[in-house]
């Protein structure tokens, strides 16, 4: 049904303390709390780089989302994982750009296909004017968007976006970012 290999996610408690690992798909089937990250890349004009997830993704395929997101591998730091996935998904090497973790939040969303995202999501923000070269296995399209226009469109068309993107944008406002 889903092709996500035998990747493992880091299971955590409510305080983000590691309590073990689980095969990625099984963790999502069982709704186990695990560690994740999201990356937001802005350009020098303040526009956010969005990706449209590939249609075949195991959930939220075809929806617009933040620049990239994923899970750190066991033994991998969050920042290293964020750099890795930014390169794997968007073809961007941002190790030389401004890049920092700005906040974390917990969310849980059940999907119609029986999977659940139950994550503590660590959000990184970076600034880059590099042109992405997306991996078509991960990303079908990309675009740079004005944040206020994005927030308005998410309110008008919430089903066009991943559920966590709206939560991230709300938290950006709370953290004055």
As annotated, the active-site residues are: 69, 119
DSSP string, the chain: ----TT-EEEEE-TT--EEEEEEHHHHHHHT--EEEEEEEEE-TTS-EEEEEEPTTSSSSTT-EE-SEEE-PPTT--HHHHHHHHHHHHH----TTSEEEEEEEEEEEEE-TTS-EEEEEEEEEEEE--PPP---TTTEEEEEEE-HHHHHHHHHH-GGGB-HHHHHHHHHHHHTT-
């Amino acid at each position: 049904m889903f092709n996500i290999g035998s990747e493992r996610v880091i299971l955590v408690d409510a305080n983000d303390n590691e309590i073990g690992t689980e095969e990625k798909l099984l963790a999502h089937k069982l709704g186990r709390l695990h560690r994740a990250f999201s990356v937001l890349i802005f350009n020098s004009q303040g526009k956010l780089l969005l990706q449209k997830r590939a249609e075949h993704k195991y959930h939220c395929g075809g929806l617009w989302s933040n620049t990239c997101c994923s899970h750190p591998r066991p033994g991998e730091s969050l920042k290293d994982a964020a750099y890795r996935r930014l390169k794997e998904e968007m073809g961007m090497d941002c190790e030389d750009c401004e890049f920092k973790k700005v906040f974390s939040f917990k969310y849980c969303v059940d999907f119609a296909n029986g999977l659940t995202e139950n994550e503590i999501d660590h959000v990184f923000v970076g600034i880059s004017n590099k042109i992405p070269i997306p991996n078509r296995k991960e990303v079908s399209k990309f675009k740079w968007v004005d944040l206020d226009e994005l927030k308005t469109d998410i309110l008008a068309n919430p089903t066009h976006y991943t559920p966590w993107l709206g939560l991230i944008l709300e938290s950006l406002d709370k953290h004055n970012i």
